[in-house]
Amino acid sequence: MTEVMPSHIGFIIDGNRRWAKKHGLPAYVGHLAGYNAIQE
């Protein structure tokens, strides 16, 4: 049987807005932090 490898994958990053709010930051800072975490 041949295995099929996906050509695309997706990430659902949840909690960035809550993280930012908890730290008194605007939502976009949380989104940027999530993006940077994926880059690592």
Mean pLDDT for 3-7 is: 93
CB atoms within 10 A of CB 29: 15
The question of whether 17 is a catalytic residue gets the answer no
Does residue 1 have a pLDDT over 90? no
pLDDT at 40: 86
Nearest CA among 18, 40, 36 for reference residue 27: 18
pLDDT at 4: 92
Q: Choosing from 5, 10, 14, 24, which is the catalytic residue?
A: 14
Whats the size of the chain, residue-wise?
Answer: 40
d(CA 34, CA 17): 9
Domain that holds residue 21: 1-40
Count how many domains the chain has: 1
pLDDT at 29: 96
